Structures are given as C-alpha cells and as structure tokens.
Structure 1
C-alpha cells in the first residue's frame, strides 16, 4: 500500500475522476508550483496562509498547525509542499491509512527536526490509537512511548522538537472534535473557475512543451469540473490526440476531437455520469430513485455512484438529492436532449 492512498475505494480511472490515478504522480511533481506566488487560484487561502507563515517567521516561532479541507484534486498536497518550501524546512509525508498503530506515528515523530513540516493526507482516516498520540504531539510536543506489555508495561515520555502539522482531508465532517480543535488555522479549498483553470492549463502546457491555442486551453478548462488535476489529465489526453492527428498542435478542433474520443462532453460529464442520468430519466422517469437502484442500473458499485458521480452532478445542477431519493432536474433532461415533464423545477 502506498503512503498516499488515492481513495477509500477503487473507482474506474475516468479522465474526469478527481482522485489520483496511477499515472498522475510523476506529472503532478513536474507541474507543482514551488511558492505561494506561483500557485494559481485559491486567492483567499493563499492570502491567509501568507499571513500565518509570515507572522510566524517574523516572531521566530513555528507556525500553527494547518488543516487543508476540500474535494480531491484542488492542490492540498501541493499547498503542504509550499508551506515547507516557504519555511525553508523539510517535509515529511504520510497518510492517515498508513498510521494504523501508535507506533507508526511514534517512529515518524521521533525523526522530526525542529521546524519540520509533517504532512498527513486523508487525516480523517488515521487510526484512533495514533490519533490520541497525535493530540499530545500537537499540543505539548511530546509523546508517551509504551515499552513492554501487560502489568510490566512502562510509559516513557519522549520530547519532540516543535513542528508544524499540515493535515489534508476530503471529509472534514469525519474529523473528531479534539483533533479539529488542535489546528490553529483551517483552510477550505474551493473549486476553480474557468479563468483560473485556463491559467493552469496554459502553465502546464508551457512546462510540458505543448503547443496549445488560447481557445483550446479555455475548452479544456471549461470541461475540467473546476479541478486542476482533471485539467492537467485532460491536457495529456488532448496532447496524445494532437500528436497523432494534428502534428502536435493543440487547437480547438483537436481538443474537441480528443475529448469526444475520451467521452468527456461539454459539461465535463463522462460515460458513467451520462449513464447515471440516463438511468434516472429514461429508466425511472426522473426519480426519485435510490442510489443502490441507480448503481445496479449502470453496473457500478453504489459507493462509486455516490462518491464519484453524484457530487459533480449535484453541483452542476443536474441532480437533486432528496429524502426519497435522487431526482433529475430540468437541466439534466435538456442535456440528454429530452423535454422534462410539466412541474419539473427549472423547466421552460
């Protein structure tokens, strides 16, 4: 199991799946900005983080612990790396699922140097024994190491140098209250608009040596579901298409041709998204329908439909979640080229 897990369950590697795919790691390393000034988007988070880090540097102290919250693919890992870069310290990386025992965390903390940044991805999935040890480490910069078992077990206090913990979570609601309260600064990462994503695509194209037209960059950005990771992935797929069909030049025609081949439509929906809408509308008259029924209809696990498809369909205004089940909006009917029945909210 890798240090940074992609997700809690396996999902199909769709071009518009925001979770990390097998081939994303090397690309993301080459495209990651190195400073807050180079980071595109998230202006409020950048300003807040600049104040937190600059204030700590001026006082000569270790910055407060930082919690980065938001959907996958928005740059939480990149932001953690930038924190270490801005402070001029080392970055230690792990993930919540990797910390199964208190000893796993103790081994990592025992190697921390003063001022280091410890990054824990998906921190809401950390095991309870390790989490309880983390409380003391965050608050008092010490841990108690248990030596031996049973009645003869001995607790040995171990002082650790002041450090900054950066935690990242896609599910802030799953964090326990005691853990959440120990973070001095919490940043909520937001989805990107098309303008910022166009800058992301243009910057990535320049780094990768891709000859891309301005309108092609906008087209990729508009189909990226507000997520830089998806924008970079689509750029790779469009580059592949352009290398084969357009002598490497990415223009608007090549971009649209590539995204059609890879089943990404003008709203950023992929095959599975459209299958869910089709099952909801053609199969069940627009709902309400339970998620398990939809999952069976499209041949996927219910967790895949609920965690991968639904968030964007709801955010795009194509689906509503009600107490009785999922309901298609008028926009979803129109997107499939159908006329919604009378009484559908938003129907013309």
Structure 2
C-alpha cells in the first residue's frame, strides 16, 4: 500500500468489501453521530407507525464518515430492500428512469455522490421525489411525446461530500438533512474495539488510543490503520496489537502522531522552507510537491485546514504557527500567518 492510501478517506472496491464485514447493522450498534442517530430514529419510527415511506433523506459530510452504512441501516430498520447506485452512474435521464421504474413499494434507493448526477436526470428526479412519477420521452424532435409513468412510493437516501454543489430545488425536496461530523478519539476507540473483535484480534487500550489519534477523525481510516497494525503484528511482531506494534506499524506507513502523512508533511515543508510560510498559490504549491493541484486541494488540504496547520486566504495558502511548531521549524520574522506577499501573483489559487 502506498503511504497516501493509509490515510485517504476514499475506498476502492476491494476495501469496500472488507468494510462490509465491519459495518454495524442497526442504529443501536452505530457508534458516533449521536444527534443524527436520534433524529433519524424519530423519522423512521414515525413513518413506521403511520405505515408510510419516510421522507427523503440527505446525508452530507466527508468520505468515510458512515453515510453508506447509515443508508444500509435505514433499509434494515424499515425491513425493506436497498437499491444502491451513484451520481456518476446516472449519465442520462433514461438511466434514472430505468432504476426508478423497477423499485418496489417502500424500497430505499441510495444515491451516492448525488451532486455528480447529470442535469437531465436531476430534473427528472424532482418529479419522482415529489409526485412518484417519471415522464418518459418517446421519439425525437417535434414529434416527441412525454408519457407519464407512475412509480412505487420509495425513499431516496442521497449522500454527498459537497452539499454546496446541490441545486436548491433538489435540496428542498429532502424532508430530513443530516450532516455527518468528524469523530472524536473516544468514538474512534469504540469503533476500533468493535472492529478488532470482529477481526478476532484483541486490541490493547493504549494501542487503540494511538490508532484513534492518528485516524483523522474518520472511521474508515481508523479501521484501515487497524488492519495495517494487525498485519505488522502478525508478520514482524509478536502477533499482539500492542502500543509498540501500533507505533511501529504506523511509523512504517509514515502516519505521524497527529495523522499527517508524507504528502501532508511535504506540503507544509515546501510551504515553510521554500516559500517562507506563504502566501503561495495552489498550482505553485502542487508543482513543488510533485502532485496534481486537485489532489492537494481535495485530498490533503481539507485535513490540514481542519487541523489548523494551513490557512486559505484570498492571496494564497499560508502556514499557521501550529504548523511551524509541529514541523519543528522557526518562522521567519516576516512570516505572513494569514496576510502578506504572494509568491506567484498570477497564481493565487485561493478559491
């Protein structure tokens, strides 16, 4: 595994299969997101008492926080089938019509990355969510005819990592919106104990605390690091998930005590040593660490900003005093800390 993958919140197909064995099956077993769980419980139980499908549900938040797991739990709590698809898979309105027309009454449709759905399909979804109907267009040009097709009442569970990209008419059609927050260390420890039990690998409390502290507040990363520690303990250690083996494994994968990996530290190091703390434009910063600008902006930067190591200003990226301290460097007297000169006037990249 590349060191970047160790703390990436995204998951590939193989990892999603592994995650399936560790997913909680009910709201009671789901750790964290207490407010969301309580609100969701009321929505589901109220719908069951009225013998009706619940309102459509939108879940927003970063990857790896449990949106897919909650969608599966919603279907399980309701005792109905779950259909899973994603925004990028819905390229045309006909693709969406094909999915919706085969839904059973009360079925839950989970639409991941809903913000990436094609616009024609999005407009069809408005009517489907509100009136449980889709208009199928037959023919082309002036002779085209729209045939209304009734669909079974269903519950849409949409998930997005970028709620701001959803158009207002779509957001307004969701009866309940849940925002998924990052997890604190205690919640991650509880998740780790549960996962370790399912993996048949007893976890020492000190090791659990160490892994949780390096997991960037994300259960997916915590479970991934737990598997890496288990692998290290089995191959190079004594087989026990101890603090010593946890630290040795995480150091091997270049995940430091606060969860920063090689790319995170490279960004901070370049920003401080080469650009004296900034401000510096995104593209310049990305070229300096040998990565695409999109990778820096969407993969590394959110955690660095959330952790207080990086500031995004109108004039570019700036290293914070906390970043200088963490990297063991002394800021120059003219360090910007949020304002100052721009290294590349044509490339502020602060958007």
Question: Unpaired runs of 5+ in structure 1?
Answer: 1-10
Query: Does the CA contact (< 8 Å) of 1:238 and 1:259 recur in 2?
Result: yes
Alpha-carbon distance in structure 2 between the residues aligned to 1:325 and 1:156:
52
The match for 1:110 is 101
The match for 1:169 is 160
Q: Tell me: CA distance 1:26–1:87, structure 2 relative to 1, closer, same or farther (3 Å).
A: same
**Secondary structure, counterpart of 1:211 in structure 2:** coil
Query: Does the CA contact (< 8 Å) of 2:276 and 2:331 recur in 1?
Result: no
Question: Unpaired runs of 5+ in structure 2?
Answer: 339-351
Q: Per-residue deviation at 1:112?
A: 0.5
Alpha-carbon distance in structure 2 between the residues aligned to 1:311 and 1:265:
17
The match for 1:316 is 307
Query: Does the CA contact (< 8 Å) of 1:124 and 1:175 recur in 2?
Result: yes
The match for 1:188 is 179
1:140 aligns with 2:131: yes
The match for 1:16 is 7
**Secondary structure, counterpart of 1:146 in structure 2:** strand
The match for 2:221 is 230
Alpha-carbon distance in structure 1 between the residues aligned to 2:148 and 2:156:
20
1:92 aligns with 2:83: yes
Q: Per-residue deviation at 1:21?
A: 2.9
Query: Does the CA contact (< 8 Å) of 1:211 and 1:248 recur in 2?
Result: no
Q: Given the alignment, which residue of 20, 34, 41 partners 1:29?
A: 20
Alpha-carbon distance in structure 1 between the residues aligned to 2:239 and 2:147:
62
The match for 2:345 is none
Q: Per-residue deviation at 1:232?
A: 0.6
Query: Map of 1:270-285 to 2, 5 A cutoff?
Result: 270-285=261-276
Alpha-carbon distance in structure 1 between the residues aligned to 2:3 and 2:314:
28
Q: Given the alignment, which residue of 98, 102, 126 partners 2:117?
A: 126
Q: Which runs of 4+ in 1 moved over 3 A?
A: 341-346
1:265 aligns with 2:256: yes
1:64 aligns with 2:62: no
**Secondary structure, counterpart of 1:145 in structure 2:** strand
TM-score by length of 1: 0.94
Q: Per-residue deviation at 1:22?
A: 4.3
Alpha-carbon distance in structure 1 between the residues aligned to 2:97 and 2:193:
43
CA RMSD of aligned residues (A): 1.4
Q: Per-residue deviation at 1:111?
A: 0.6
**Secondary structure, counterpart of 2:26 in structure 1:** coil
TM-score by length of 2: 0.93
Query: Map of 1:272-311 to 2, 5 A cutoff?
Result: 272-311=263-302
Query: Does the CA contact (< 8 Å) of 2:113 and 2:159 recur in 1?
Result: yes
Aligned residues: 336
